[in-house]
Amino acid sequence: MGYLGLPVQVDRLLLKPEHSLLVQSYKPREMTAGLINADGFGMGWYHPQHDVDPFTYKNTLPIWSDVNLPSLSRYIESGCVLANVRSATPGQALDLSNCQPFQHGLILGVHNGYIENFRQTLYRPIRDRLSDANYQSIGGSTDSEHIFALLTNTLDANPAIALADAVHETLTTLSHLGQQQQTGFSANLIISDGQQLVASRCANRSQTPSLYWLRDDPLFPQAVLIASEPLFAGNWIACPEHSLLTVTHDLDIQSHSI
């Protein structure tokens, strides 16, 4: 889930909607891989002072088991929030380093999807493309964090590049590597620098996970929400498959084919 708009208490995004991420953790409606999201969760948010690095809170518990979250999320207020509930790939460790969102300076990112047989296919090719700094920044073992490292590697190598262009280049590289290794992937991403959101709905073989967006709902005026599944009844719009969605600081929305 991603949010950009007027500052809101985070519990209004994570816990209160009728089909919140809390509910989606144990009763998802459109999940294409797995049955529940019980392998940890995380959220990231930005301070109104835009040059401050974002904050993150993660836990390896299922989101419904964290007794601190209701009070914490009621206390935190932000105009830009990313959050994720995790369904771990079999064989991947259940630890904080594998929980999302991932952070690199001002950049936060979450990923819904997977790379097939990641350790045997794209693990080494992705790492071979990283600078030493981005290689060393990987703290966990997931395909998700390696995709994020590909993105931050592009951003570090091209400081003037637009965030949407960096996401597009990352997905192009991922597609090229997937073709080389003859492996499938799905890469629904939401990326932010605190001023904008960039989201993708992308896969090369398997069914693409769902992704929706909503703007200026009566519950969240002057705001845009992006979520894997609608959080509540409203005028949610499904992102087309193989598309890139950008939301600027003034909430202008553009959708492009990948």
Q: 113 by DSSP, 3-state: which?
A: strand
Token pair in block for residue 79? 């105009």
User: What residues pair up with 215 in beta bridges, in sequence order?
Assistant: 224
The vertex-100 CA angle with 116 and 204, nearest 5°, equals 30
Q: What's the CA gap between 130 and 16, in Å, rounded?
A: 40
pLDDT at res. 89: 67
Beta-carbon count within 10 A of 148 CB: 27
Q: Which two tokens stand for residue 206?
A: 């398997």
What's the total number of domains in the chain?
1
d(CA 16, CA 129): 42
Question: What's 136's DSSP letter?
Answer: H
CA-CA distance, 38 to 88, in Å (whole number)? 8
In whole angstroms, give the CA distance from residue 104 to residue 193.
Answer: 10
Q: What CATH number is attached to the domain comprising 252?
A: 3.60.20.10
Q: Which residue has the tokens 């959708």?
A: 255
* Strand order from edge to edge, sheet including 102-104: 102-104, 107-115, 185-192, 197-201, 243-247, 253-257
pLDDT at 15: 97
Q: Which domain holds residue 123?
A: 2-257
pLDDT at 30: 84
Per-residue burial over 207-222, b if 16 or more Cβ lie within 10 Å, else e, is: ebbbbbbbbebeebee
pLDDT value at residue 205: 80
Residue 17 in contact with residue 231, Cβ under 8 Å?
Answer: yes
Closest by CA position to 169, among listed 185, 179, 157, 183: 157
Q: Are 195 and 249 in contact (CB under 8 A)?
A: yes
Taking the C-alpha atoms of residue 170 and residue 89, their distance in angstroms, rounded to an integer, is 22
Pick out the chain residues at pLDDT < 70.
88-93, 206
| Best CA proximity match to 170, nearest among 115, 230, 101 | 115
21-33 pLDDT, tens digit per residue, is: 999 999 888 887 7
Are the beta carbons of 56 and 103 closer than 8 angstroms? Answer: yes
